[in-house]
Amino acid sequence: MTDIAVTLADKRGTLPPEDKLGFGKIFTDHMFVMDYATGKGWHNARIVPYGQIEISPAAMVLHYGQAIFEGMKAFRTADNRIVVYRPLDHLNRFNHSADILSIPQMDVNVLHDGLKQLIEIDKEWVPKSLGTSLYIRPFVISTDPFVGVKVADQYTVFIILSPVGAYYASGFKPVAIKVEEHFVRAVKGGLGEAKTPANYAASLKAAEVAKKEGYTQVLWLDALEQKYIEEVGTMNIFFKIDNEIITPALNGSILNGITRRSVLAVAKDWGMKVSERRISIEEVYEAHEQGRLQEVFGSGTAAVISPVGELSWKGRKITINNNEIGETSQKLFDYITDIQQGRVADKFGWTGEMAKL
Amino acid sequence: MTDIAVTLADKRGTLPPEDKLGFGKIFTDHMFVMDYATGKGWHNARIVPYGQIEISPAAMVLHYGQAIFEGMKAFRTADNRIVVYRPLDHLNRFNHSADILSIPQMDVNVLHDGLKQLIEIDKEWVPKSLGTSLYIRPFVISTDPFVGVKVADQYTVFIILSPVGAYYASGFKPVAIKVEEHFVRAVKGGLGEAKTPANYAASLKAAEVAKKEGYTQVLWLDALEQKYIEEVGTMNIFFKIDNEIITPALNGSILNGITRRSVLAVAKDWGMKVSERRISIEEVYEAHEQGRLQEVFGSGTAAVISPVGELSWKGRKITINNNEIGETSQKLFDYITDIQQGRVADKFGWTGEMAKL
Ligand SMILES: Cc1ncc(COP(=O)(O)O)c(C=O)c1O
Ligand SMILES: Cc1ncc(COP(=O)(O)O)c(C=O)c1O
């Protein structure tokens, strides 16, 4: 176990009613923190009371965006264990993002130990109702007080925790998505594969416009030809065509989603035909016209599976599966959430136990 | 005049020896701050002592990068006036960046008044040696403590000031620049035209690699074909071919540089042939082969003019103008810095007086 100094909060907060949690607004009593300085490496791993942080107005992250983050979830199982879904996969991706952003690599074991101790301390904050969870947000910021573009010499990594309500509070149902034809999120040679603020900053305008038009998110096309499908705002995307599950191949400009990996593994395990390949929006529309497009769904930590009931591309709207949840979408959602909340055996070894209540 | 509450620092710092200033490491005694909240608009404009700021670890800027900045300079003239170079052009560009990042527009007059009062208060910090200046960094960050991707509801704008040494402390001389062929900074439909952290985050890896290879910066090519010239890390780029001054046209993916505008205006005023158009790296190399490439130089607030003595593209190195400062580069540098520091008449009306000593 890593040596982590713990300073407990004087007063503990309490978990609000579980149907009032929402997403990302409430935080637990503590956070994990660790610093980096060139020459010294990562040091001073600690758990401290959650609260405001002090930074310089010249802190590099505020000016040059050298930063990364992750997003994963802890669940409370029926037998009162706290498990995190694929923690090492998320922490390894965190380090992959670090590499892309020229941020020094972290010891995944230290992060994992820190997370485990943090969850042990704040375990009363993990909600238990169906669909609720504890959202885990590790992130690194560059903190040198320096106004000039360069790779920073000082960083801090944090892990903060937020109890979140059921994503489908008003029922599991299909969403309408706009295929973006003007804005671009990421390009080959850019930062698309990293979980870094830059990619989300680049998505705001398009999402704002789409929301005004009544869509929940945008589906990004490739930056070069605006032809091939990339991913959704905060989800990877899947198409079921002729009973085959198709998702865009990892190409350097989309996120290597952990839920995407789970979907691929489960579908394969079920004996379904699965392929990761380049797929154009034309191909999807053509399949729809020919009655071969059976389902469309997104995959991501927040929603797990999000069925898509409508796509709109250049003003051409198509309704998928009668705007109903597809059979595979439903099965995947049920099975993955059953694994996460311990209702079925975890045959893939995806959940990591962090605490017992 | 805008109503700006002023809280003075208890103790004033002092300007270090002007040959020890460097860039971006030292800050003055005060800063301008103003907040925004949805429903309330921009409010509470104030000048406060420069110092650490408190933000939530969940502050949106740290996670989703919704932020913008500007960079301009104040100079001390021989007759002891403090002037800022093209302040309104910079503040209007600040608002243009805000628009691209879905950040609410600011009243340019309020910012200008805030800057003026701030400089009046900290005017002793403006260095006077040749080439020195007071670097001005306005920036906006999104501050909602919310872990989810959306346009924020709370922002703070700051203006901080940093006295900076002569950019060419060891003499005005040409630099070597690497033409980037792998990484991409920005793409049409993306954020390239905004001064926002995302673009600089996207430049770190390429700059790091180039530095290791002995180059000071990279020259970006277009994201689509890696063929057409965009700009340098923190400068726009100019080529003098057959006595014509050529710079890439504004295309949505490069910054609309204020120094670029100055160069174009001055060169035109001198009766030179000037054009803003698409220019490929092949064209530059071809012109060099034919002996028609006379000069290459960058333009930006930090360096004003930076002559380029060497380009390297796909391992092919070319030396420009014998690695000496070109005639036009030198003339532009001299004339623009003379205007900035009040040594010649400001016939374009570019300098704005902010204080008198
Ligand atoms: C851009 C983007 N793509 C895809 C995903 C889905 O990834 P994961 O399944 O790892 O949550 C996310 C969310 O994390 C995301 O932000
Ligand atoms: C990407 C980029 N291009 C160009 C420039 C030059 O712009 P300006 O002349 O306004 O400083 C800068 C610096 O501000 C920059 O960061």
Angle at Cα A333 formed by Cα A27 and Cα A248, nearest 5°?
Answer: 95
What residues contact B161, with CB distance under 8 A and at least 6 apart?
A: B27, B28, B30, B31, B74, B118, B119, B122, B125, B134, B135, B136, B137
Which neighbouring-strand residues pair with A34? A157
Q: Using one digit for the tens of pLDDT, what is the confidence trace for B102-129?
A: 999 999 999 999 999 999 999 999 999 9
Confidence class for position B101, pLDDT limits 50, 70, 90: very high
pTM for this model (two decimals) = 0.97
Q: Read off the pLDDT of each residue in B267-296 and give the average, rounded to a whole number.
A: 98
What separation in Å is there between the alpha carbon of A235 and the centre of ligand 1?
5
Write the DSSP assignment of B259-327 as a string of letters. HHHHHHHHHHHTT-EEEEE--BHHHHHHHHHTT-EEEEEEEETTTEEEEEEEEEETTEEEESGGGS--H
Give the mean model confidence (pLDDT) for residues B219-236. Answer: 96
What pLDDT was estimated at residue A168? 78
Q: Which of A57, A307, A309, A87 is nearest to A176 (CA)?
A: A309
pLDDT band of residue B289 (cuts 50, 70, 90) is very high
B252 contacts chain A (CB < 8 A):
no
CA distance A65 to chain B (A): 5
- Ligand 1 geometric centre to CA of B42 (Å): 33
Dist. CA B291–CA B289, nearest whole Å: 5
Confirm if B117 and B6 have CB atoms less than 8 A apart.
Answer: yes
Mean pLDDT, to the nearest integer, of A25-30? 97
Task: Give chain B's domains with CATH numbers.
Answer: 5-167+350-356 (3.30.470.10), 175-324 (3.20.10.10)
Average pLDDT of the residues in B64-74 = 98
Looking at the DSSP bridge assignments, the partners of residue B232 are B219, B235
| Residue indicated by tokens 């599950």 | A245
Candidate from A57, A62, A150 with C-beta closest to B31:
A57
β-pairing verdict for B154-164 and B30-37: antiparallel
B172 pLDDT exceeds 90?
Answer: no
Those residues whose C-beta lies under 8 Å from the C-beta of residue A140, and which sit 6 or more positions away, are A67, A68, A69, A94, A98, A103, A106, A155, A156, A157, A158
| Run of H or E including B67 | strand B67-69
- The reply to whether residue A63 touches residue B224, judged by beta carbons under 8 angstroms, is no
* Confidence class for position A172, pLDDT limits 50, 70, 90: confident
Bridge partners of B311?
Answer: B177, B318
Q: What is the pLDDT of residues A126-171, one digit of tens each?
A: 999 999 999 999 999 999 999 999 999 999 999 999 999 988 777 7
Q: What angle do CA B136, A149, B61 make, to 5 degrees?
A: 80
Distance in Å, CA A276 to ligand 1 centroid = 16
Mean pLDDT in residue range A191-200: 97
Give me the residues of B, 308-337, that contact A with CB < 8 A: none
CB B40 within 8 Å of CB A143: no
Among candidate residues B6, B14, B65, B323, the one with its CA nearest the CA of residue B191: B65
CA dist B44 → A58, B104, B140, B154, B157 (Å): 21, 15, 15, 13, 11
A200 contacts in B (CB within 8 Å)? 63-66, 149
A53 vs chain B: nearest CA distance in angstroms?
Answer: 5
* Residue A57 to residue B160, Cβ atoms within 8 A: yes
Cα-Cα-Cα-Cα dihedral sign, residues B317, B323, B325, B328: negative
B38-47 pLDDT per residue, tens: 999 999 999 9
What is the phi/psi pair of residue B68, to 5°?
Answer: -145, 165
* pLDDT of amino acid B357: 86
Mean pLDDT of B49-58: 98
What gap in Å lies between CA B65 and CA B197, rounded to an integer? 7
Indicate the pLDDT class of residue B267, thresholds 50, 70 and 90: very high
**Token pair in block for residue A351:** 């959940």
**How many residues does the structure list for chain A?**
357
Query: A239-262: per-residue pLDDT in tens?
Result: 999 999 999 999 999 999 999 999
A182 with B202: Cβ contact below 8 A: no
Contact predicate B202/B187, CB 8 Å? no
Share of chain B above pLDDT 90, in %: 96
Which numbered ligand comes closest to the C-alpha of A73?
A: 1
Q: Which of A 140-199 lie inside 8 A of B, CB atoms?
A: 141, 145-151, 158, 160, 162, 182-191, 196-199
Structure token digits, residue A203: 């998505």
Q: For residue B64, which residues of chain A lie inside 8 Å, CB to CB?
A: 197, 200-201, 204
- What is the model's pLDDT at position B2? 78
Which of A231, A242, A29 has the alpha carbon at shortest distance from A125?
Answer: A29
Is the Cα torsion angle B341, B343, B348, B353 positive or negative in sign? positive
Tell me the C-alpha to C-alpha distance, in Å, between residue B115 and each of A300, B29, B120, B170. Answer: 45, 14, 8, 31
Name the closest residue on chain B to residue A51, using Cα atoms.
B56
Query: What average pLDDT does this structure show over B182-206?
Result: 95
- Tell which one of B193, B200, B234, B305 to mutate to probe ligand 2, the residue whose CB is within 8 A of the most ligand atoms: B234
Transcribe B174-197 into DSSP letters.
-EEEEE-SS-----TTSSTTS--H
pLDDT average, residue stretch B228-239: 97
Confidence grade of residue B1 (pLDDT, cut at 50, 70, 90): low
Tens digit of pLDDT for each residue in A37-50? 999 999 999 999 99
pLDDT at A167: 82
ipTM: 0.97
Q: Give the residue from B27, B62, B141 with the most A CB atoms within 10 Å of its CB, the best one to mutate.
A: B62
Chain B residues with CB under 8 Å of A197 CB are 61-65, 197-198, 201
pLDDT of residue A1: 67
Please report residues of B whose CB lies closer than 8 A to that of A137: 58, 63, 147
pLDDT tens-place string over residues A257-298: 999 999 999 999 999 999 999 999 999 999 999 999 999 999
pLDDT, residue A36, reads 98
Shortest CB distance from A66 goes to which of B56, B67, B204?
Answer: B204
B46 in A contact zone (CB under 8 Å): no
Helix (H, G, I), strand (E, B) or coil at B160: strand
